[in-house]
Structure 1
Amino acid sequence: MTEKAQSAPQSQISFLLFLVLGAIGALTPLAIDMYLPAMPTIAKDLGCAAGAVQITLTAYTAGFAIGQLIHGPLADSFGRRPV
C-alpha cells in the first residue's frame, strides 16, 4: 500500500545554455572592471572633469538595474512553463 511519490521532472540544461548564462552574468562586472582604470584617461582625452566621467558609470549601473526591474517580471510571466 505504499505509493511512490511522484517527483517533478527535472529539466535538462544544456552546457551551451550554461555557458551563455554565465557569460551574461559576468558581462557587467567585466565591463566595470575594464572601465574604471581608464576613467582618468577618458576625462583627459575628452577634456572634461573626472566627475562627468563618473556619472557615465552611474548611468550604466542604473540602466542595468532598471533593465533587470523591467525584464525580470516579463521573464516570470512569459518565460515560465506551467507545471
Structure 2
Amino acid sequence: MKLTDHKGYMRFWIASTTSDFGTYITTLALQVLVVTNMHGSSVDVGWINAALWIAILGLAVVGAWFALSPMRDARIDEQAAPR
C-alpha cells in the first residue's frame, strides 16, 4: 500500500504543509513589516527572530520537563486504568 493511498496520511501531509507555509509567510511578513512600516534596522529584525526562537525553546523546555517528571507514569497509569 502506498502512503498516498492512505486518506489519513494525505490529510496530515496537507495540514502540515499548510501550517509550515503559514509559519514561513508569517515570519517573512513580520520582518518586512518591521523594516518597511516601522523603519527598523537589521538589529530590530534580529530581535524579532530572537523572540520567535525564545518562544520555541521555552515550549521545548516545558515539554521536556513534563516528559521527564516523575508524575508522568502516574498520569499515564490513571488514563489506562479501567473504570
Q: Output the TM-score relative to the length of structure 1.
A: 0.47
Higher percent of residues as helix: 2
Between the two structures, name the one with larger relative contact order (CA 8 Å, sep ≥ 6): 1
